[in-house]
Amino acid sequence: MTVRDRLLAAAAELIAEKGWGAVSTRVLAERAGVGSGVVHYHFDSTQAVLVQASVGALREALSGLPALLESAADPESALDALLAALDEAGGQELFIETFLAATRNDELRAAVAGVLTEFRAALAVWLAERGVPTPAETAAVLAAAVDGVLLHRALDPELSRAVVVPVLARVLR
């Protein structure tokens, strides 16, 4: 793993563990096992590392979306698989911190918006192919609902897939 990759991995871990605002150059360098000066050799700022790490993690988590959707028999099984994939990604805290930080960071907001646009577009195509009415709007609301579920599950772990999927599936019918 390159030093740059170690810094990105360390940044993603630290965002999830400590929160966006608690990640300093020193803490990041320490976690990555490098000197503080190395951070600024590879990135313009600590914020740049955090943005790249968090957006990269979002992209990675959504990279399997096309295959996940194609393997789903219906919208309900797609929802279940999507929530399961997010559970497996282990990045719920990272995603929550990223979304919150995006409200205060224009660069991050634009990058996250781009990832969400790609996610919604892929979902809308899949929904349209299955005859779901107003697929683009449905994809936007479904994406927002999934994001909301992630936020709420941080406070209420009992908001499981078993609870969420049947409710959201009714919306898709």
Q: From CA 115, how far away is CA 109, in angstroms rounded?
A: 10
User: Are 68 and 41 within 8 A, CB to CB?
Assistant: no
* Domains observed in the chain: 3-172 (1.10.357.10)
- Give the single-character DSSP code of 35: -
Q: What pLDDT does residue 90 have?
A: 58
Q: What pLDDT does residue 88 have?
A: 67
Q: What are the pLDDT digits (tens) for 89-126?
A: 556 888 889 999 999 999 999 999 999 999 999 999 99
Q: What are the pLDDT digits (tens) for 35-71?
A: 999 999 999 999 999 999 999 998 988 888 888 888 9
Three-class secondary structure of residue 132 per DSSP: coil
